[in-house]
Structure 1
Amino acid sequence: MTEPALRKDAELNRQRLMAAGREVFARRGLDATLNDVAHHAGVGVGTAYRRFANKEELIDAILEQQVGEIERILRAALAEPDAWKGLVMYLEGLLAMQAKDRGIAQIQSGRRGRREKYDWQRDRLAPLVNELADRGRAQGVLRPDATGTDLIFLQIALTAISETVADRTEPGILPDVGQLYRRYLWIALDGLRARPEGVSPLPVGPLTTEETHTLLGPPQPGADTR
């Protein structure tokens, strides 16, 4: 084969592995192995390790795709003139992604991922989430004490519902409950909305963006994880 043909073949295998990785991690979470991904992609394990030195490299590549998708959701939400509609658009769009993709849910909740990639993701997305909340407060549709970090923790909490449903639903025992998280999203949205008569004071203050990402990010080198 010529060099251009080899490069094209290598890139096709890389894309095939990334697509398979997203499918495998979506179903099984990030504990699935690179061997599992190679098998699902229909390529040899050696081919997988030539394209990605280890599973973490594959996860990083998939994360870059996913962050691009989340950024598009955020920018579409910010382009919506009505701040409340934009906020709902963001939460519904992100939660729909995470409900069907266990891997991205684990990364977004800080349970997996490398520190440098996590910091890169934070720097790219956090300003947009904060802008969404700032705009909601400025338009008077979001309760005045709600922040961007509240939106982050809310989506983590609602994603846990999707994970519980996925883990415990048995075919033929329950109706399709894959959309159950949306019930609790709408209950939560009522709690986020500003009201003319005022809202109940929150018993605990919010974390800052930096505190949130420190809490949710991978452990610092040398940290005691017991």
Structure 2
Amino acid sequence: MSTTAARPLRADAVRNRALIVDAARRLFAERGLDVTLHDVAEEAGVGVGTVYRRFPDKDALLGGLVTAKYETLLELAERAAARPTGREALREYLLGAMELRSSDRSLSTAVMRAAPQTAEALELRERLWTVIDGVVARAQAEGVVRQGFERDDVAAVTSMIGSIADRSRDEHPDAWRRYALLIADAVCPPAGELPPLVGRPLEPPVVGACVASRA
């Protein structure tokens, strides 16, 4: 019986794989999930055949990236859950998730619907939901969150802020922060007096573009 182990990747193959993954992460964050493997190859500066040797199809490439997104969200949720009060925990996770989405166009679609879900990603998702459930429950027990607010609302409002960020990024890169605070304050007001909003309202044409956009 043969006991030959799989050969390790050559140095150039390891470098190419890293280039491909980094390029894919950038493109999916900037453009969403409509990116093709040809786009990734061009961005990485390698031949499309090199991409296909490492990743036979887009689902194979997306699978690893989706897992990484869940890991990032889970880390955020666990850090928020360690805060001393439910109010602080919920606000930290809400605002943190919105900030992540503001710079990553693919986050909502990857987590909510379109991307392939590997067994590892599904396990991370369940852990994430469990932590967020606990954060929301603490805030509810303290009476500091809007009655009826649930875990699934977090993904919805995060996606809403993402739409604003996507459409206003070039001319108003920080506009999403104003609306993230509006939502967080409406859901779970901070203790004490409300601070002033940041920035200025978006002009009607920009708001119209946000409403018309799709994730």
Same fold (TM over 0.5): yes
Q: Counterparts of 1:57 and 1:65 in 2: how far apart (Å)?
A: 13
Q: How far is the alpha carbon of 1:151 from its aligned partner?
A: 1.9
- Tell me the residue number matched to 1:103: 106
Q: How far is the alpha carbon of 1:7 from its aligned partner?
A: 4.2
Q: Counterparts of 1:161 and 1:186 in 2: how far apart (Å)?
A: 13
- Tell me the residue number matched to 1:202: none
Report the 3-state secondary structure (helix = DSSP H, G, I; strand = E; otherwise coil) of the residue aligned with 1:59: helix
Higher mean Cα deviation, 43-52 or 154-163? Answer: 154-163
Q: How far is the alpha carbon of 1:70 from its aligned partner?
A: 0.8
Report the 3-state secondary structure (helix = DSSP H, G, I; strand = E; otherwise coil) of the residue aligned with 1:30: coil
Q: Counterparts of 1:49 and 1:192 in 2: how far apart (Å)?
A: 45
Q: Counterparts of 2:94 and 2:140 in 1: how far apart (Å)?
A: 16
Q: How far is the alpha carbon of 1:18 from its aligned partner?
A: 0.9
- Tell me the residue number matched to 2:186: 191
Say yes or no: does 1:62 pair with 2:57. no
> For 2:115, which of 102, 113, 126 is the aligned residue?
113
Q: Report 1:79-158 matches (<5 A).
A: 79-110=82-113, 112-114=114-116, 119-158=122-161
Report the 3-state secondary structure (helix = DSSP H, G, I; strand = E; otherwise coil) of the residue aligned with 1:6: coil
Q: How far is the alpha carbon of 1:190 from its aligned partner?
A: 2.6
Could you tell me the TM-score, scaled by structure 1's length? 0.72
Q: Counterparts of 1:32 and 1:20 in 2: how far apart (Å)?
A: 11
Whether contact under 8 Å (2:20, 2:40) holds in the other structure is yes
Say yes or no: does 1:10 pair with 2:5. no
Q: How far is the alpha carbon of 1:121 from its aligned partner?
A: 5.0
Whether contact under 8 Å (1:144, 1:194) holds in the other structure is no
Q: How far is the alpha carbon of 1:19 from its aligned partner?
A: 0.7
Could you tell me the TM-score, scaled by structure 2's length? 0.75
Cα displacement string for residues 123-158 of structure 1 (whole angstroms, at most 9, x for unaligned residues) = 232111111101111222223422212222221222
Q: How far is the alpha carbon of 1:8 from its aligned partner?
A: 4.3
Q: How far is the alpha carbon of 1:4 from its aligned partner?
A: 6.0
Q: Counterparts of 2:15 and 2:142 in 1: how far apart (Å)?
A: 47
Runs (4+) of structure 1 exceeding 6 A deviation are none
Report the 3-state secondary structure (helix = DSSP H, G, I; strand = E; otherwise coil) of the residue aligned with 2:115: coil
Q: Counterparts of 2:29 and 2:188 in 1: how far apart (Å)?
A: 32
> For 1:31, which of 23, 31, 34 is the aligned residue?
34
Q: Counterparts of 2:168 and 2:112 in 1: how far apart (Å)?
A: 17
Q: 5+ unaligned residues in a row in structure 1: which ranges?
A: 170-175, 196-226
**CA 1:109–1:78: 2 relative to 1, 3 Å:** same
Higher mean Cα deviation, 117-126 or 152-161? Answer: 117-126
**CA 1:73–1:131: 2 relative to 1, 3 Å:** same
Whether contact under 8 Å (2:33, 2:115) holds in the other structure is no
> For 1:162, which of 154, 162, 165 is the aligned residue?
165
Whether contact under 8 Å (2:70, 2:125) holds in the other structure is no
> Percent identity among equivalent residues?
30
Whether contact under 8 Å (2:101, 2:108) holds in the other structure is yes
- Tell me the residue number matched to 2:202: none
Q: 5+ unaligned residues in a row in structure 2: which ranges?
A: 1-5, 191-215
Whether contact under 8 Å (2:164, 2:176) holds in the other structure is yes
